Chain A
């Protein structure tokens, strides 16, 4: 029989959340939010348990379930978590109830709204826990559906453009990724989509060199578009600005992590040799070499700096936070390029850190819109005395994002830059200035929007300006507390990352 507490836990959790989706849709408009909140809790409990179990475990997959599914092509129903995915699954399960709590007063089609949030929860959990490429792809594509509807139905004025752009852009990148998956499948020749099996094959027999290079490129394109990395990032600002707050939170909090997770789970472990291999190129008299690792350094550095500079020029607060997401995920790309324990642990840590902090920042932007009627910083000014709690929460979240020690972001940044120095030496001097620029744009945004003397603009409703309401406030406080806890006790998460880091590096460093 199925052992609930080990192999059955993950499929049951996903199934339970899907049932919750249906239950939410089937309930009435008033009770749907409560049903949704309750339905999101089993996932939270299960993933917390999994994270705790994995935190002290070894490098193998825990809660490993593997059942035959489509024997004709070798696709199996395979689930499992290890140090890397347990924290991401937990992040998803934590953000969902907080998002539901934040959107408690949503009154446009609430049944569908909350059902879609739960559907996102289930499908993203599926992405983070599936260990079979076929299954992974199904969940990956399925994630696009609830997000598309969230943006298209509850979004801002330009939502049709934004939702379609999001869907088509990331969907077509996924097709390229599918090519990569097919390449891995056929190249291995064992008729299996299973990630552990392919990782072992990639490490021992290896794929043919040219083939592996192309396969890696295909996979990388799919994942980099999702992260998003410059130059594939332009879907993100539109999607974020037009999405409702719940959509933005989940988009920034978990969807973006799927991209980096894919790189960390699939592309780099299986095709590690292709990732680090050097290729000599001669263009006339100029001869140099390149590798995907260096390409990732370039992409990462460009994303970090370009994203940061773009934030300086933004007027819409949500657009600013969107570009800061580009910048922070650029740091993850940079970290992956380092191929060191510090870098990889930093990448995993930044994933969770950014997930928590960016989620909070988007909530703050949403609250700003509710309170004042606008998100445009040029129309605001001096609202701090009217919305002191919102100011305090926003300032705290901004400080967390710019890497203030004591909060999670600092640990992530420190380990990432330490790894960058180890791998690239003095080239660290290019991306490291982002620390200053990041502080610059956040503090300037605070000053423009919240501090200083009052700026009375006709678009801003000063009559009805009220401070952030309870449900919104407590969601943000919960996220700040998490950022604080993991900033002061990083060992809680680092323990789970260390085993994974060393395992992946062994795959890369070996044959």
Chain B
């Protein structure tokens, strides 16, 4: 019989009965859909889209059930069983549905559903044979993201994390006959693997020291304070994993190249969901960083904020001269992710000193808003690319405003949102991020510098987003494809419209109703400590009366106006060619970091070592082996000349042998008198 009441179990209520089935179905449905689609998808509608859409819709529905419960004040629930034992250590499998995971899984399922529906039209001209691969891997990816978010221990999270990495590899290299796509996929996998080594090490450190990987048990472990040194290194390693997955400096090189995949893939994986997994990981690990206490914890949060702030500015500069519409969005994703880490870092620092969880909330709010407007922008660009008959270069566009009205309007909303114009969503979260950094700056001067970087980034963001908008949609069409552009079908425009609405209003959740910080705050589960958040109406007044708010608004408007003045008329002559020299060349080539650091490391150092090792193995080690055999061979060659087949030689041997034997016998007899 279905049991609808969760069973009490101390800290977190245990899922049971139909609730448990619903909870497990959320990551399980897409996996099943992926398997079935992979094997029989060819014969299904649009190469197999039906099952993944149904499965993701199912996951969304189930997530909404838990989401609504949470909004109505529901308690966190969880469940776990033993998976396998090694010696006397047990590994478990389980789920944890607290505020953070429920909210994120709902967000992920919603976005995934819209994007997969969108792709049925976007990829309409692919062959069914290949499309089943696309849909199956997409479904597996969604399962991976949902799994990462709902699992209750680090090991299982890592497993689904790697599955996401696999799907990213497969989808970036979807058009595997293109050399650039195959290279980009490999680069993505290897770079994230480097980050994953750190995460792997961090998990090992935690497991061997505390004998558990379950979030609840770890965060409440009695020995946490005694092992601060291990906790420090483990925390850093976990952050290393996040740096890889969320493409922060110095592991940012893979994300722009990942644009080789279909745009819907970029939208889902590289904008809305997978890259957020790193932010989620740091958010989830927050209690461990906090447990490090003042001093050590400060330095960790400072590092997180530093990496985030630096990446935000660094990647924003690259977007200033980008010529491919997807590249602009890729750089902007990196930059916004930087904001999230900045917020987490500054927020953690503030929490340690003042107990304010505002930074955590700001980061999560920005995560949600960014997911919406970035997915919107990417899908919009997909619409543009489709309308332009698969041309992506901004220099070839122009005047699309009149030909693709819905796309234009939705992308305009998205751009305004990312630039941070009131009352759209981006404004609220970006403002919160910057104000957190500013307040942390009063405690530690470095954060003040980071705030400045964040402000500069905001100006640049507004600038390059509207540069993109003006170059693509305003002015006159610069090529034939732009002339003949057409609007996209409803399957694409409807999701765009829905996302535009979300991108417009999602930020308002911060200040209306119970307030975002009433739901997503740190500590994020009731059992993890006292909740401390700010009432929403109060927050609205604070924001509207702070001078910082108007500063960031002014900066954003300034950026838009500069872009308008430069690009409203169309493409300036100076930007017609791909830049190779000077500052623009530097930015276009991403500061030559790849060429200067990664390529030598890979091609020269690694391959060099490999070739030397190969030579050493063949000539050195194997040479020694063959040498031994050679010595034996030559000794044999010398000795066997005795056997020359001549009768006389053999008789001579007999004679000599007899003489020697007689001599020895004589000597022996004489000596020992036998």
Measuring CB to CB, which residues of chain A are less than 8 angstroms from any residue of chain B?
A: 165, 168-169, 230-231, 233-235, 306, 309-314, 340-342, 345-346, 382, 384-385, 399, 404-406, 410, 414-415, 417-418, 421-422, 428, 432-433, 435-437, 439-440, 443-444, 446-447, 450-454, 489-491, 494-495, 497-498, 501-502
In the bound complex, residues from chain A placing their C-beta under 8 Å from that of B194 are 436
B201 touches which one: A230, A428, A443 (CB < 8 A)? Answer: A428
In the bound complex, residues from chain A placing their C-beta under 8 Å from that of B634 are none
* A341 and B86 form a contact (CB under 8 A): yes
* B190 and A498 form a contact (CB under 8 A): no
* B86 and A437 form a contact (CB under 8 A): no
A399 to B173, CA, bound (A): 15
For A454, give the chain B residue with the smallest CB separation: B177
Decide if B573 is an interface residue (CB 8 Å cutoff).
no
For A432, give the chain B residue with the smallest CB separation: B197
In the bound complex, residues from chain B placing their C-beta under 8 Å from that of A421 are 201, 204-205, 208
* B158 and A405 form a contact (CB under 8 A): yes
**With A405-B163, A447-B186, A490-B83 as contacts: A313 and B613 at CB distance below 8 Å:** yes
* A342 and B182 form a contact (CB under 8 A): no
A38 to B182, CA, bound (A): 44
Question: How distant is A417 from chain B, measured CB to nearest CB, in Å?
Answer: 6
Question: How distant is A191 from chain B, measured CB to nearest CB, in Å?
Answer: 35
Can you list 13 residue pairs at the A/B interface with Cβ under 8 Å? A230-B621, A306-B613, A310-B613, A342-B89, A404-B166, A406-B163, A417-B204, A436-B197, A443-B185, A443-B190, A444-B186, A453-B178, A501-B86
* A439 and B189 form a contact (CB under 8 A): yes
* B186 and A494 form a contact (CB under 8 A): no
A169, A310, A384, A433 pick with most chain B CB within 10 angstroms: A310
**With A341-B88, A342-B89 as contacts: A231 and B197 at CB distance below 8 Å:** no
A235 to B617, CA, bound (A): 11
In the bound complex, residues from chain B placing their C-beta under 8 Å from that of A234 are 617, 621-622, 625
**With A436-B193, A490-B84 as contacts: A422 and B177 at CB distance below 8 Å:** no
Chain B 145-197 interface residues, beta-carbon cutoff 8 Å to A: 155, 158-160, 162-163, 166, 169, 173, 176-179, 182-183, 185-186, 189-190, 193-194, 196-197
In the bound complex, residues from chain A placing their C-beta under 8 Å from that of B490 are none
Decide if B200 is an interface residue (CB 8 Å cutoff).
yes
B610 touches which one: A310, A450, A495 (CB < 8 A)? Answer: A310
Contacts A432-B200, A489-B84 given; 9 further ones with Cβ under 8 A?
A165-B629, A233-B621, A309-B613, A428-B201, A447-B182, A451-B179, A490-B83, A497-B86, A502-B87
* B197 and A452 form a contact (CB under 8 A): no
Decide if B614 is an interface residue (CB 8 Å cutoff).
yes
In the bound complex, residues from chain A placing their C-beta under 8 Å from that of B178 are 452-453
* A310 and B177 form a contact (CB under 8 A): no
* A384 and B177 form a contact (CB under 8 A): yes
Decide if B591 is an interface residue (CB 8 Å cutoff).
no
Question: How distant is B223 from chain A, measured CB to nearest CB, in Å?
Answer: 16
Question: How distant is A307 from chain B, measured CB to nearest CB, in Å?
Answer: 9
In the bound complex, residues from chain A placing their C-beta under 8 Å from that of B389 are none
* B197 and A385 form a contact (CB under 8 A): no
In the bound complex, residues from chain B placing their C-beta under 8 Å from that of A498 are 85-87
Q: How many A-B residue pairs have CB under 8 A?
A: 141
In the bound complex, residues from chain A placing their C-beta under 8 Å from that of B179 are 451-453
Question: How distant is B465 from chain A, measured CB to nearest CB, in Å?
Answer: 34
Measuring CB to CB, which residues of chain B are less than 8 angstroms from any residue of chain A?
A: 83-89, 155, 158-160, 162-163, 166, 169, 173, 176-179, 182-183, 185-186, 189-190, 193-194, 196-197, 200-201, 204-205, 207-208, 602, 606-607, 609-611, 613-614, 617, 621-622, 625, 629
Question: How distant is A95 from chain B, measured CB to nearest CB, in Å?
Answer: 24
In the bound complex, residues from chain A placing their C-beta under 8 Å from that of B88 are 341
* B86 and A345 form a contact (CB under 8 A): yes
* A451 and B193 form a contact (CB under 8 A): no
In the bound complex, residues from chain B placing their C-beta under 8 Å from that of A451 are 173, 176-177, 179, 182
B208 touches which one: A345, A422, A447 (CB < 8 A)? Answer: A422
B85 touches which one: A169, A309, A437, A494 (CB < 8 A)? Answer: A494
B606 touches which one: A168, A233, A309, A446 (CB < 8 A)? Answer: A309
In the bound complex, residues from chain A placing their C-beta under 8 Å from that of B183 are 447
B166 touches which one: A399, A436, A495 (CB < 8 A)? Answer: A399
A491 to B81, CA, bound (A): 13
For A312, give the chain B residue with the smallest CB separation: B610
In the bound complex, residues from chain B placing their C-beta under 8 Å from that of A446 are 186
A443 touches which one: B186, B606, B629 (CB < 8 A)? Answer: B186
A437 to B607, CA, bound (A): 11
In the bound complex, residues from chain A placing their C-beta under 8 Å from that of B190 are 436, 439-440, 443
* B89 and A406 form a contact (CB under 8 A): no
For B617, give the chain A residue with the smallest CB separation: A310
* B193 and A231 form a contact (CB under 8 A): no
**With A234-B625, A310-B613, A313-B613 as contacts: A417 and B85 at CB distance below 8 Å:** no
A385 to B175, CA, bound (A): 10
A283 to B613, CA, bound (A): 30
In the bound complex, residues from chain A placing their C-beta under 8 Å from that of B193 are 435-436, 439
Question: How distant is A166 from chain B, measured CB to nearest CB, in Å?
Answer: 11
A242 to B155, CA, bound (A): 41
* A410 and B84 form a contact (CB under 8 A): no
* B610 and A382 form a contact (CB under 8 A): no
In the bound complex, residues from chain B placing their C-beta under 8 Å from that of A415 are 86
A237 to B84, CA, bound (A): 36
**With A341-B88, A410-B159 as contacts: A491 and B610 at CB distance below 8 Å:** no
A452 to B614, CA, bound (A): 26
A384 to B617, CA, bound (A): 32
For B180, give the chain A residue with the smallest CB separation: A452
* A491 and B85 form a contact (CB under 8 A): yes
In the bound complex, residues from chain A placing their C-beta under 8 Å from that of B155 are 414
A235 to B622, CA, bound (A): 8
B185, B606, B629 pick with most chain A CB within 10 angstroms: B606
For B166, give the chain A residue with the smallest CB separation: A404
A311, A314, A451 pick with most chain B CB within 10 angstroms: A451
For B622, give the chain A residue with the smallest CB separation: A234
In the bound complex, residues from chain B placing their C-beta under 8 Å from that of A306 are 613, 617
